[in-house]
């Protein structure tokens, strides 16, 4: 009887410690979730970048900087929450930790997604600000970015052609990370691409209208404007062609890596099932 009472007291003490740690973990989780929801609301309420004025773009960038600074401060609480979660799951293995593990994993996923969105939003805003420069400058920056990105993707395409190396988990994860980074870069520059095309088309329309308004006797001026328009048209068509080629190359790499990952997952599932 005394042994049973001793075990009960010890169990009661363990449960009290568990309860205290769970309360602390829940406080951290709830506060992090609240901040994430509020930060997400601020982030998504800014509207589409393409419809913002220059001042509004600057305000949005200030907001991104503010949220980034706050995120850095809250990250310490996230690490503390994860520490407590890992400690609880390690010490109290015999207790049901499924719900705790699920909630912890869910919040970490939300945190990672928010920070990805934060980085993407920043990239989109900065890309939009760059695209507000005059057309030639914007086009030059965009072409330079595409050339660099194309070289990276071409290298990644060459690396991922080897089917044997795709089976290597370490290499595959490294390549998946590079593909994700490239995808974020491409997404961040989509609106910039649209902006460059619109700026180019607007200039083409203005030059076409200028040609229509010119006196037929102004042959030299007509020739100059026509030549400039032809050069501009080729540049606009070239940038669209290079962009589509970049998207196609990225799609090939992404599908190649996803197929390799799916095949690996199928094999792991197959070997995990007892015969």
The CATH class that applies to domain 133-275 reads: mainly alpha
Q: Which residues of the chain have pLDDT under 50?
A: 275
Would the CATH topology of 1-132 be identical to that of 133-275? Answer: yes
Query: What is the distance, to the nearest Å, from the Cα of residue 247 to the centroid of all Cα atoms in its chain?
Result: 16
Q: State how far the Cα of 20 lies from the Cα of 58, in Å rounded to an integer.
A: 45
**Length of the chain (residues):** 275
Q: State how far the Cα of 200 lies from the Cα of 17, in Å rounded to an integer.
A: 67
Q: What is the pLDDT of residue 34?
A: 93
The answer for residues whose C-beta is within 8 angstroms of residue 80's C-beta and 6 or more apart is: 28
Q: What is the pLDDT of residue 223?
A: 54
Q: What is the pLDDT of residue 210?
A: 60
Q: What is the pLDDT of residue 92?
A: 62
pTM, two decimals, is: 0.50
Please choose, from the candidates 191, 203, 176, the residue with its C-alpha nearest in 3D space to the C-alpha of residue 243. 191
Q: What is the pLDDT of residue 275?
A: 45
Domain ranges of the chain: 1-132, 133-275
Q: State how far the Cα of 48 lies from the Cα of 57, in Å rounded to an integer.
A: 10
Q: State how far the Cα of 271 lies from the Cα of 38, in Å rounded to an integer.
A: 44
Q: What is the pLDDT of residue 146?
A: 93
- Give me the helices (H) in the chain, please: 2-44, 54-91, 98-131, 135-159, 163-166, 169-213, 219-272
Q: State how far the Cα of 4 lies from the Cα of 16, in Å rounded to an integer.
A: 18
Determine whether domain 1-132 maps to CATH 1.20.1440.120: no
């Amino acid at each position: 009887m005394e042994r049973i009472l001793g075990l009960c007291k010890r169990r009661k003490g363990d449960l009290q410690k568990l309860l205290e740690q769970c309360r602390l973990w829940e406080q951290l989780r709830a506060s992090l979730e609240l901040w994430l929801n509020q930060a997400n609301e601020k982030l998504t309420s800014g509207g589409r970048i393409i419809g913002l004025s220059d001042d509004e773009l600057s305000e949005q960038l200030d907001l991104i900087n503010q949220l980034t600074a706050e995120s850095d401060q809250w990250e310490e609480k996230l690490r503390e929450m994860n520490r407590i979660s890992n400690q609880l799951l390690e010490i109290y293995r015999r207790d049901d930790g499924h719900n705790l593990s699920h909630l912890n994993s869910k919040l970490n996923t939300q945190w990672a997604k928010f920070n990805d969105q934060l980085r993407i939003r920043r990239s989109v805003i900065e890309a939009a600000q760059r695209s507000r420069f005059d057309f030639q400058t914007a086009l030059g920056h965009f072409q330079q970015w595409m050339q660099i990105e194309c070289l990276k993707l071409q290298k990644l395409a060459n690396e991922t052609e080897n089917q044997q190396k795709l089976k290597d988990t370490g290499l595959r994860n490294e390549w998946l990370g590079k593909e994700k980074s490239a995808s974020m870069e491409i997404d961040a520059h989509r609106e910039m691409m649209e902006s460059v095309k619109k700026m180019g088309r607007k200039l083409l329309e203005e030059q076409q209208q200028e040609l229509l308004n010119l006196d037929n006797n102004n042959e030299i001026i007509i020739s100059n404007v026509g030549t400039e328009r032809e050069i501009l048209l080729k540049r606009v068509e070239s940038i669209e062609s290079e962009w589509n080629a970049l998207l196609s190359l990225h799609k090939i790499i992404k599908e190649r890596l996803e197929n390799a990952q799916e095949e690996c997952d199928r094999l792991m599932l197959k070997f995990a099932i007892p015969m």
